[in-house]
Amino acid sequence: MEDKKTLYSAIQPTNNLTIGNYVGAISNWLSLQNDYDCYYAIANMHAITVRQDPAELRRKTVALLALYLACGLDPQKCCFYVQSHVSAHAELCWVLNTFTYVGEMERMTQFKDKSARHAENVNMGLMDYPVLMAADILLYQAHYVPVGEDQRQHLEIARDIAQRFNNIYSPTFTVPEGLFLKVGAKIGDLQDPLKKMSKSAENANGSIFLTDDKDAIIRKFKRAVTDSGSEILFDPENKPGVSNLLTIYSVFTGKTVKEAEADFEGKGYGDFKLAVGEAVADKLAPIQLEQQRLLSDRGYLDNILKEGAEKAAYTAGKTLRKVYKKIGFYQI
Ligand code: TYM
């Protein structure tokens, strides 16, 4: 059997996931699971950089696994695990901290944004977030990391840290490459399409959550802002609202953007927004049902996480031992 390249990604089990997470991450992962050795983590260690309710965090952790599966990711093809179940993440993060400069972390846009939003809790973990993310990726010697546009800067720093370490010692880490969708790497907020749709948006009308029911989905799409003019064309620069809706429609129907445009030739914004809402609601309904069904079988889910943690710990352990040896940690 030919050796497959390794792919790594993760999502934080925080707030409610949006269709931005679905499009930018999960839908992309689906198309890749056959061709790569895939690791998909549930990043609960990243999650606690913002204060979480413990019971909610526990519930959302297993709900995220159920969502991965309900979306069609296959446990026979992908390794799913919870980040805190593999202690190598914290251990490598500590080592990599000594290869990362404070100034680099202070410049990260997400750190600046989150520090402003959580001014009462600008903790060290929030600042260290990208180093933990680098540790995640580098432990698995990942070649590719499929993520949305908002993670581009974090991926760049992971590459820098890997190269820095490799140059000081000898090649140790695979230098990962980001995989960004050509269409859908940044789904915009429905009320303000130039802003990314976010799990933690202040205005809930701007985000479609994966748990929203059909009525809520249609209502939010009906209120989505469009642009001046009446043509339904993909032109992100001049028509960011319409282009965002066309992108969503194309991902949720499996059509190309050109085909999506053709579907709405000569139609008005009202029909268009309704059709996008229906496409999203129709796709999400069976996923929601399947997620609920899976959540009623906790034994099955825990088993997947147990096997995932074992496989992940094995792979991560190999890299960690290599690192410890190179930096001079005494071995017994
Ligand atoms: P998180 O949980 O914020 O988001 C999960 C994934 O969803 C993508 N995403 C979007 N894509 C398109 N449009 C949007 N509006 C949108 N909003 C979110 C994100 O880019 C991401 O791919 N730090 C990561 C989790 C993480 C990770 C890792 C990822 C931890 N360790 C290692 C890759 C590799 C995060 O917070 O994602």
Written as one string, the DSSP assignment of 225-294 is ---SSS-----TTT-HHHHHHHHHHHHHHT--HHHHHHHTTT--HHHHHHHHHHHHHHHHHHHHHHHHHH
What does the alpha-carbon distance between residue 264 and residue 246 come to, in Å, rounded to a whole number?
10
Under 8 Å between Cβ of 211 and 165? no
> Which pair of structure tokens corresponds to residue 319?
């890299």
pLDDT at 183: 84
Domain boundaries, the chain: 6-180+297-327, 204-292
Nearest in space to 22 (alpha carbons), one of 252, 238, 262: 252
At 235, phi and psi to the nearest 5?
-150, 80
Instruction: Give the three-class secondary structure for 15.
Output: coil
Task: Using a pLDDT cut of 70, give the percent of the chain over it.
Answer: 99
Q: Which atom of ligand 1 is nearest to the CA of 21?
A: 7
Residue 128 CA to chain centroid, in angstroms? 18
Cα separations (Å) of 108 from 105, 151, 155, 157, 162? Answer: 5, 10, 11, 9, 17
Q: Average pLDDT, whole number, for the chain?
A: 95
Name the stretches of the chain with pLDDT < 50.
none
Nearest in space to 162 (alpha carbons), one of 134, 188, 192: 134
Distance in Å, CA 309 to ligand 1 centroid: 21
The CB density around residue 301, as the number of other CB atoms within 10 Å, is 20
> Which pair of structure tokens corresponds to residue 150?
């908002």
CATH number of 6-180+297-327: 3.40.50.620
Long-range contacts, stretch 217-221, CB < 8 angstroms, 24+ apart = 217/277, 217/280, 217/281, 217/284, 218/274, 218/277, 218/278, 218/281, 220/190, 220/277, 221/190, 221/245, 221/273, 221/274, 221/276, 221/277, 221/280
284 Cβ contact list (under 8 Å, min separation 6) = 19, 210, 212, 217
Predicted TM-score (pTM) of the model is 0.96
Please name the amino acid found at residue 318.
K
114 annotated active-site: yes
273 annotated active-site: no
Residue 97 CA to chain centroid, in angstroms? 23
Q: Which of 60, 186, 196, 220 is catalytic?
A: 196
Cα separations (Å) of 161 from 144, 164, 172, 188, 299? Answer: 16, 5, 11, 30, 39
Topology (CATH) of 204-292:
Tyrosyl-Transfer RNA Synthetase (1.10.240)
Choice from 147, 173, 195 to test ligand 1 binding pocket (greatest atom count within 8 A of CB): 147
What does the alpha-carbon distance between residue 100 and residue 16 come to, in Å, rounded to a whole number?
32
pLDDT at 2: 60
Evaluate whether 6-180+297-327 and 204-292 have a shared fold.
Answer: no
Burial profile 101-123: b = 16 or more Cβ within 10 angstroms, e = fewer:
eeeebeebeebeebbeeeeeeee
pLDDT at 71: 96
pLDDT digits (tens, 9 = 90+) for 87-125: 999 999 999 999 999 999 999 999 999 999 889 999 999
Nearest in space to 19 (alpha carbons), one of 194, 260, 235, 244: 244
Choice from 133, 150, 180, 191 to test ligand 1 binding pocket (greatest atom count within 8 A of CB): 150
Distance in Å, CA 46 to ligand 1 centroid: 11
pLDDT at 235: 94
196 annotated active-site: yes
Q: State whether the beta carbon of 12 lies less than 6 angstroms from ligand 1.
A: yes
